[in-house]
Amino acid sequence: MRKVFAAQLLAEFKQNQRLMLLAGDLGYGVLEDIVKQCPRQYLNVGVAEQNMMGIATGLALEGYSVFVYSIANFPILRCLEQVRNDVCYHGANVKIVSIGGGFSYGGLGFSHHATEDLAIMRAMPYMTVVAPGDRFETAQATAVLARHVGPAYLRLDKLDKSLPDSAAAGDTGFSLGKARVLRPGKDVTLMASGGIVFEALKAAELLAQEGVDCRVLSMHTVSPLDVDAVTKAARETRALVTVEEHTVTGGLGSAVAETCLEAAVLPHKFYRLGLRTGFATAVGSQEYLRKQYGMAAIHIQDTVKRLLG
145: CATH: 3.40.50.970
Mean pLDDT confidence for 72-82: 94
Q: 131, 156, 181: which is the final residue of a domain? A: 156
pLDDT category at 170 given cuts 50, 70, 90 is: low
The confidence score (pLDDT) of residue 158 equals: 83
- Shared domain for 300 and 225, answered yes or no, is yes
Residues 34 and 102 in one domain: yes
Domain boundary among 122, 156, 190: 156
Exposure string over 263-281, b if 16+ CB within 10 A, otherwise e: eeeebebbbbbbbeeeebe
Q: Judge whether residue 196 has pLDDT over 90.
A: yes
- Asked if residue 289 and residue 223 are part of one domain, the reply reads yes
164 within domain boundaries: no
Among 156, 187, 217, give the residue marking a domain's end. Answer: 156
Whether residues 110 and 151 fall in one domain: yes
pLDDT of residue 277: 85
pLDDT band at residue 162, thresholds of 50, 70 and 90?
A: low
Q: What is the pLDDT of residue 28?
A: 79
Q: Domain span at residue 201?
A: 173-308
Confidence at residue 57, expressed as pLDDT on a 0 to 100 scale: 98
Are residue 151 and residue 261 in the same domain, yes or no? no
15 and 150 inside one domain: yes
- Span 203-228, average pLDDT: 97
Looking at the fold, whether 141 and 206 belong to one and the same domain comes out as: no
The predicted model gives 139-152 an average pLDDT of 97
Based on the structure, what is the number of domains in the chain? 2
Report pLDDT digits (tens) over 28-43.
789 999 999 999 999 9
Same domain, 141 and 237: no
Please check whether residues 126 and 204 belong to one and the same domain: no
pLDDT band at 161 (very low <50, low <70, confident <90, very high): low
| Residue 189 and residue 133 share a domain | no
Whether 78 is covered by a domain: the verdict is: yes
- What's the pLDDT score for residue 94? 98
Q: What average pLDDT does this structure show over 204-232?
A: 97
Residues 17 and 141 in one domain: yes
Mean pLDDT, rounded, of the chain: 94
266 vs 7: CA distance, rounded Å: 42
In a domain, 167, yes or no: no
* Domain annotation covers residue 121: yes
CATH number at residue 300: 3.40.50.920
The least confident of 170-174, 179-183, 201-205, 270-274 is: 170-174
Residue 301 within a domain: yes
**Average pLDDT estimate for 11-32:** 92
Same domain, 128 and 182: no
Task: With 0.85 as the threshold, say if the pTM is over it.
Answer: yes
